[in-house]
Structure 1
């Protein structure tokens, strides 16, 4: 039988942001995550607020939405094994979308303070994260999110500042 930690380690290894991390680094990172249950309809991240965690969905389905006037735009669903909350953290800004649970969901989360400590103890890993984020920015430059915001980039990846 697979332990919760084994499943989390497997999910972390499959996330592009952590692709260059060693097995030991991934295990250390996994040990800092806690599992939290969110009933259907729960707000996990509120658009415009400073993020306090980085998340990986264990099971369930989440929805990301962006405010647009008096309504909101569905940006997409978050499925098991996907990470969220990391972009705002890495860019040092507020959350660009709200995330709610569409069904009962279990989510692993690591506080930004714990993630900061992890990066401080492994400074070379920030280079790996930076390169992955730069590639993501290039790939996302034609996404529906950018079309909604009139192709205006909220932040330039070269202006990333992390206070660690």
Structure 2
């Protein structure tokens, strides 16, 4: 969520993994977006405040997302492999595949007070409370981040604030 928009990058439900089938889903303000596979192989929009670009970096399952002045992300959809399934005890059924996202973030102008399950890891001097070497490490603190829905900006440690012009129009909070 940013400005008055919601951008969703997700892995589609996949029963049998095939590298040639795109398992990536992109939504812009609740509308499914198709990312072309030929030509520029990108989708872009100019929001009120910033340009957003989703470009393919491979024919399927890889994209780079750029939100001008905020973040650049490399995102890959991939299946849980046999080794990961065994190590983390996911218990993936033989007739199913769990597809998930691998992500890399590069933020622009990130505050030293950044918060969130991922965000706080970008704070200067952050030390993880996770026990190294356990099969499924957990950070904890979920009570701080519990929300009514995936797109709710309201939680105990919320740092989202409505911009005055958006608040007057009933817009979404922004980071």
Shorter-chain TM-score range: under 0.3
**Structure possessing the higher radius of gyration over alpha carbons:** 2
Of Structure 1 and Structure 2, the greater helix share is in 1
Does 1 or 2 have the higher relative contact order (CA < 8 Å, sep 6+)?
A: 1
- TM-score w.r.t. the length of structure 1 is 0.27
